[in-house]
């Protein structure tokens, strides 16, 4: 019954369907089952709500990934596990995935502090640096590797969403798409 969360959930749904511009705060409040005043009690402005939603979603994703790297796991296995986990997360949270894409290619992006972005990507940058030091990955700039990987993932995901494969085919694609990108960067 956390009203803050209800508001975020409602905002997510409406933003994905109608865009940022197409969803009035009043409808968000309505969908969340709270009053207009309550919404503005928690989020001083609509922009603040949008940014809060982005950070909320990102930390959800991060929570899915971090924490449990098995001891002795090879670097490749770690990459594969996280690659696949990200794909599954996106598959199971299509609204969150779409919102993130929408947010990242909108002017809202500039409202997020660089520190916040660094914080979110640090885990992954560390992993890539480790892989380069161990001569597993090609010694490309980290930013480039990151961009290549994430655009690959979002591309695959876009495909998974639009073409409805059965579970087996989907499984297969996820596996092979990892191999494709892994060969590319090693």
Partner DNA sequence: ATTTTTGTGGAGTGATTAGTCAATCTTTAA
Partner DNA sequence: TTAAAGATTGACTAATCACTCCACAAAAAT
> Could you count the other beta carbons within 10 Å of the beta carbon of residue 156?
22
For CA atoms 34, 40, 46, 47, give the dihedral sign.
Answer: negative
Q: Scanning residues 166 to 185, which ones bind its own copies (CB under 8 A)?
A: 173, 180-181, 183-185
**Residue 152 touches its own copies, criterion: CB under 8 A:** yes
Q: Scanning residues 6 to 65, which ones bind DNA (CB under 7 A)?
A: 23-26, 33-38, 40-41, 44-47
Q: Which is nearer to DNA, 35 or 60 (CB)?
A: 35
**Residue 150 touches its own copies, criterion: CB under 8 A:** yes
Q: Is 106 helix (H, G, I), strand (E, B) or coil?
A: coil
In the complex, the smallest distance separating the C-beta of residue 6 from its own copies, rounded to whole angstroms, is 22
Residue 74 to residue 80: CA distance in whole angstroms: 10
- Alpha helices by DSSP H, listed for the chain, are 3-18, 25-32, 36-42, 46-65, 75-92, 94-104, 114-133, 142-162, 167-185
What tokens were used for 150? Answer: 């994430």
**Contact residues for its own copies, defined by CB under 8 A:** 16-22, 98, 101-102, 104-108, 141, 143-144, 147-148, 150-152, 154-156, 158-159, 162-163, 173, 180-181, 183-185
**Contact residues for DNA, defined by CB under 7 A:** 3, 23-26, 33-38, 40-41, 44-47
């Amino acid at each position: 019954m956390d009203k803050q969360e209800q508001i975020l959930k409602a905002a997510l749904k409406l933003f994905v369907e109608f865009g940022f511009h197409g969803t009035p705060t009043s409808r968000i409040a309505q969908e969340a089952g709270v009053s207009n005043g309550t919404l503005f009690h928690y989020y001083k402005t609509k922009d603040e709500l949008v940014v809060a939603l982005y950070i909320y979603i990102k930390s959800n994703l991060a929570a899915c990934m971090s924490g449990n790297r098995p001891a002795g796991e090879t670097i490749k296995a770690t990459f594969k596990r996280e690659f696949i986990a990200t794909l599954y997360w996106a598959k199971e949270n299509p609204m969150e995935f779409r919102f993130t894409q929408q947010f990242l290619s909108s002017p809202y992006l500039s409202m997020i502090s660089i520190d916040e972005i660094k914080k979110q990507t640090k885990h992954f940058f560390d992993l890539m640096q480790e892989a380069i030091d161990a001569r597993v990955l090609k010694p490309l700039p980290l930013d480039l590797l990151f961009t290549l990987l994430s655009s690959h993932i979002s591309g695959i995901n876009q495909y998974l969403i639009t073409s409805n494969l059965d579970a087996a085919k989907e499984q297969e694609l996820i596996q092979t798409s990892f191999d494709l990108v892994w060969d590319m960067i090693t």
